[in-house]
Structure 1
Amino acid sequence: MKYLFILLSILFFLFSPVWGRAQVLSQTVRGTLTDSDSQLPLIGATLIIAGSNPLVGTTTDQNGTFRLTNIPTGRITLRVSYLGYESKAIPDIVVNSGKEVVLNLTLQESTEKLAEVVVKTHLETGKARNEMALISARSISSEETSRYAGGFNDPSLILSNFAGVANNPNGNNDIIVRGNSPKYVQWRLEGVQITNPNHFADQGAIGGGLSTLNNNILATSDFYTGAFAPEYGDVLSGVYDVKLRAGNNEKREAVLGVGILGTDLTVEGPFKKGYGGSYLVNYRYSTISLLTDLGLTGVKGSPKFQDAAFKILLPTKKAGAFSLFGLGGSSSAFLKEVKPEIAETPGDRSMLNGIREDLEKGSYLVNLGLTHTLPLTTSSYLHTTLSYSKEGIKDQVFESSIEKQYDGAGAYLNDSVLTTHPNYQSHLLKSTYRGGLTYHHKINARNTIQVGTQYTLVDYDYRQSHLREGSDHRVYVLDFQEKVGTIRSYISWKHRFNEAVTLVTGVQNMNVLLNHQSTLEPRVSLNWQLNPTNSFQVGYGKHSTMESAHNYFTQVESADGKLSEPNKNLGLLKAHHFVLGYEKRFTQSLVTKAEMYYQSLYQLPVENRANSTFATINEGPDFNYVGLVNKGTGKNYGIELTLERSFSHHYYFLLNGSLYSSTYRTLEGKTRNTPYNGHYLINLLAGKEFTNLGRKKNQVLAVNAKLFFSGGRNIIPLLRDAAGNLAVDPATNTFWDYEKAYETSLGDLAKLVLSVSYKWNKARTTNELFLNLDNVTNRQGKLTEYYDPSQPGSVGHTTQRGLVPNLMYRLYF
Structure 2
Amino acid sequence: MKYIFIVLSFLLLLFSPLLGQTQPLSQTVRGTLTDSDSQIPLIGATLIIVGSSPLVGTTTDVNGNFRLSNIPAGRITLHVTYLGYEPKVIPDIVVNSGKEVVLPLTLQESTTKLAEFVVRASHTKGQARNEMALISARSISPEETSRYAGGFNDPSLIMSNFAGVANNPNGNNDIIVRGNSPKYIQWRLEGVQITNPNHFADQGAIGGGLSTLNNNILATSDFYTGAFAPEYGDVLSGVYDVKLRTGNNEKTEAVLGVGILGTDLTVEGPLKKGYGGSYLVNYRYSTISLLTDLGLTGVKGSPKFQDAAFKIVLPTKKAGAFSLFGLGGLSSALLKEVKPDVAETPGDRSMLAGIREDMEKGSHLLNLGLTHTMPSGTNSFIHSTLSFSQEGIKDQVFESTIEKQYNGSGDFLRDSVLTTHPNYQSHLLKSTYRGGITFHQKINARNNIQIGTQYSLVAYDYRQSQLQGDAANRVYLLDFQENLGTIRNYISWKHRFNEAVTLVTGLHNMNVLLNHKSTLEPRISLNWQLSPTSSLQAGYGKHSTMEGAHNYFAQVQTENGQISEPNRNLGLLKAHHFVLGFQKRFTPLLVAKAEVYYQSLYQLPVENKATSTFATINEGPDFNYVALVNQGTGKNYGIELSLERFFSHNFYYLVNASLYSSTYQTLEGKERNTPYNGHYLINILAGKEFVKLGKNKNQVLGLNAKVFFSGAKPIIPLLRDAAGNLAVDPAANKFWDYSKAYETSLSDLSKLVLSVSYKWNKPRTTHELFLNLDNLTDNKGKVTEYYDPSQPGSVGHTTQRGLVPNLMYRLYF
Whether 1:144 aligns to 2:144 is yes
For residues 5 and 58 of structure 1, do their structure 2 counterparts lie closer, same or farther at Cα, with a shift above 3 Å needed? Answer: closer
The residue that corresponds to 2:256 in the other structure is 256
1:108-507 correspondence runs (5 A): 108-114=108-114, 117-288=117-288, 301-507=301-507
Is the Cα contact below 8 Å between 1:4 and 1:290 reproduced in 2? no
Q: Give the deviation of 1:93 after TM superposition.
A: 0.1
Q: Give the deviation of 1:470 after TM superposition.
A: 2.7
* Distance in 1, Cα, partners of 2:16 & 2:542: 58
The residue that corresponds to 1:86 in the other structure is 86
* Distance in 2, Cα, partners of 1:2 & 1:120: 55
Q: Give the deviation of 1:255 after TM superposition.
A: 0.1
* Distance in 1, Cα, partners of 2:454 & 2:162: 31
* Distance in 2, Cα, partners of 1:726 & 1:632: 31
Residue by residue over 1:149-192, the C-alpha shift from the partner in whole angstroms, topping out at 9 and shown as x without a partner, is: 00000000000000000000000000000000000000000000
For residues 5 and 812 of structure 1, do their structure 2 counterparts lie closer, same or farther at Cα, with a shift above 3 Å needed? Answer: closer
Report the 3-state secondary structure (helix = DSSP H, G, I; strand = E; otherwise coil) of the residue aligned with 2:114: coil
State the superposition RMSD in angstroms.
1.3
* Distance in 2, Cα, partners of 1:292 & 1:148: 31
* Distance in 1, Cα, partners of 2:278 & 2:290: 35
Residue by residue over 1:87-127, the C-alpha shift from the partner in whole angstroms, topping out at 9 and shown as x without a partner, is: 01000000000000000000000001216844111111100
Is the Cα contact below 8 Å between 1:198 and 1:210 reproduced in 2? yes
* Distance in 2, Cα, partners of 1:103 & 1:120: 22
One-letter code aligned to 1:48: I
Find runs of 4+ consecutive structure 1 residues off by over 6 angstroms: 290-293
The residue that corresponds to 1:604 in the other structure is 604
Q: Give the deviation of 1:12 after TM superposition.
A: 4.1
* Distance in 2, Cα, partners of 1:596 & 1:17: 56
Q: Which runs of 5+ in 2 are unaligned?
A: 294-298
Report the 3-state secondary structure (helix = DSSP H, G, I; strand = E; otherwise coil) of the residue aligned with 1:217: coil
Is the Cα contact below 8 Å between 2:8 and 2:809 reproduced in 1? no
Q: Give the deviation of 1:21 after TM superposition.
A: 5.1
The residue that corresponds to 1:766 in the other structure is 766
Residue by residue over 1:464-494, the C-alpha shift from the partner in whole angstroms, topping out at 9 and shown as x without a partner, is: 0011223221110110100000000000000
Report the 3-state secondary structure (helix = DSSP H, G, I; strand = E; otherwise coil) of the residue aligned with 2:155: coil
The residue that corresponds to 2:103 in the other structure is 103
The residue that corresponds to 2:296 in the other structure is none
* Distance in 1, Cα, partners of 2:635 & 2:64: 48
Is the Cα contact below 8 Å between 2:19 and 2:762 reproduced in 1? no
Is the Cα contact below 8 Å between 2:434 and 2:457 reproduced in 1? yes
Whether 1:710 aligns to 2:710 is yes
For residues 802 and 15 of structure 1, do their structure 2 counterparts lie closer, same or farther at Cα, with a shift above 3 Å needed? Answer: farther
One-letter code aligned to 1:330: L
Q: Give the deviation of 1:22 after TM superposition.
A: 2.9
One-letter code aligned to 2:569: N
* Distance in 1, Cα, partners of 2:385 & 2:424: 39
* Distance in 2, Cα, partners of 1:291 & 1:162: 36
* Distance in 2, Cα, partners of 1:333 & 1:548: 25
Residue by residue over 1:244-267, the C-alpha shift from the partner in whole angstroms, topping out at 9 and shown as x without a partner, is: 000000000000000100000000
One-letter code aligned to 2:802: G
Is the Cα contact below 8 Å between 1:292 and 1:301 reproduced in 2? no
More displaced 10-residue stretch of structure 1: 609-618 or 559-568: 559-568
The residue that corresponds to 2:727 in the other structure is 727
Q: Give the deviation of 1:308 after TM superposition.
A: 0.1
* Distance in 1, Cα, partners of 2:5 & 2:532: 55
Is the Cα contact below 8 Å between 2:97 and 2:763 reproduced in 1? yes
* Distance in 2, Cα, partners of 1:117 & 1:14: 57
1:628-643 correspondence runs (5 A): 628-643=628-643
Q: Give the deviation of 1:2 after TM superposition.
A: 4.0
1:498-517 correspondence runs (5 A): 498-517=498-517
Report the 3-state secondary structure (helix = DSSP H, G, I; strand = E; otherwise coil) of the residue aligned with 1:282: strand
* Distance in 2, Cα, partners of 1:197 & 1:63: 35
1:669-680 correspondence runs (5 A): 669-680=669-680
Q: Give the deviation of 1:560 after TM superposition.
A: 2.6
Residue by residue over 1:329-388, the C-alpha shift from the partner in whole angstroms, topping out at 9 and shown as x without a partner, is: 000001110011000000000001110000000000000000000001010000000000
TM-score (norm 2): 0.98
Aligned length: 808
Report the 3-state secondary structure (helix = DSSP H, G, I; strand = E; otherwise coil) of the residue aligned with 1:551: helix
* Distance in 1, Cα, partners of 2:12 & 2:801: 29
Is the Cα contact below 8 Å between 1:492 and 1:504 reproduced in 2? yes
Is the Cα contact below 8 Å between 1:3 and 1:290 reproduced in 2? no
* Distance in 1, Cα, partners of 2:616 & 2:292: 34
The residue that corresponds to 2:74 in the other structure is 74
* Distance in 2, Cα, partners of 1:522 & 1:122: 30
Residue by residue over 1:603-654, the C-alpha shift from the partner in whole angstroms, topping out at 9 and shown as x without a partner, is: 0000000000000000111111100000000000000000001100000000
* Distance in 1, Cα, partners of 2:758 & 2:274: 36
The residue that corresponds to 1:697 in the other structure is 697
TM-score (norm 1): 0.98
Is the Cα contact below 8 Å between 1:300 and 1:335 reproduced in 2? no
* Distance in 2, Cα, partners of 1:641 & 1:602: 27
Q: Give the deviation of 1:271 after TM superposition.
A: 0.9
Is the Cα contact below 8 Å between 2:307 and 2:330 reproduced in 1? yes
The residue that corresponds to 2:789 in the other structure is 789
* Distance in 2, Cα, partners of 1:409 & 1:483: 63
For residues 315 and 809 of structure 1, do their structure 2 counterparts lie closer, same or farther at Cα, with a shift above 3 Å needed? Answer: same
Q: Give the deviation of 1:291 after TM superposition.
A: 12
* Distance in 2, Cα, partners of 1:230 & 1:292: 49
The residue that corresponds to 1:650 in the other structure is 650
One-letter code aligned to 1:679: H
For residues 17 and 741 of structure 1, do their structure 2 counterparts lie closer, same or farther at Cα, with a shift above 3 Å needed? Answer: farther
Q: Give the deviation of 1:287 after TM superposition.
A: 1.5
Q: Give the deviation of 1:304 after TM superposition.
A: 0.2
* Distance in 2, Cα, partners of 1:593 & 1:288: 43
For residues 555 and 16 of structure 1, do their structure 2 counterparts lie closer, same or farther at Cα, with a shift above 3 Å needed? Answer: same
Is the Cα contact below 8 Å between 1:705 and 1:755 reproduced in 2? yes
One-letter code aligned to 2:694: G
More displaced 10-residue stretch of structure 1: 743-752 or 11-20: 11-20
Q: Which runs of 5+ in 1 are unaligned?
A: 294-298
For residues 300 and 602 of structure 1, do their structure 2 counterparts lie closer, same or farther at Cα, with a shift above 3 Å needed? Answer: farther
Is the Cα contact below 8 Å between 2:4 and 2:259 reproduced in 1? no
Residue by residue over 1:290-321, the C-alpha shift from the partner in whole angstroms, topping out at 9 and shown as x without a partner, is: 9999xxxxx98410000000000000000000
Give aligned-pair identity as a percent: 83
Is the Cα contact below 8 Å between 2:73 and 2:97 reproduced in 1? yes
Is the Cα contact below 8 Å between 1:662 and 1:677 reproduced in 2? yes
Report the 3-state secondary structure (helix = DSSP H, G, I; strand = E; otherwise coil) of the residue aligned with 1:793: helix
* Distance in 1, Cα, partners of 2:561 & 2:434: 39
Report the 3-state secondary structure (helix = DSSP H, G, I; strand = E; otherwise coil) of the residue aligned with 1:6: helix
Is the Cα contact below 8 Å between 1:165 and 1:175 reproduced in 2? yes
For residues 19 and 180 of structure 1, do their structure 2 counterparts lie closer, same or farther at Cα, with a shift above 3 Å needed? Answer: closer
* Distance in 2, Cα, partners of 1:724 & 1:20: 70
For residues 14 and 650 of structure 1, do their structure 2 counterparts lie closer, same or farther at Cα, with a shift above 3 Å needed? Answer: farther
Is the Cα contact below 8 Å between 1:83 and 1:116 reproduced in 2? no
Report the 3-state secondary structure (helix = DSSP H, G, I; strand = E; otherwise coil) of the residue aligned with 1:18: helix
Whether 1:43 aligns to 2:43 is yes
* Distance in 2, Cα, partners of 1:21 & 1:556: 72
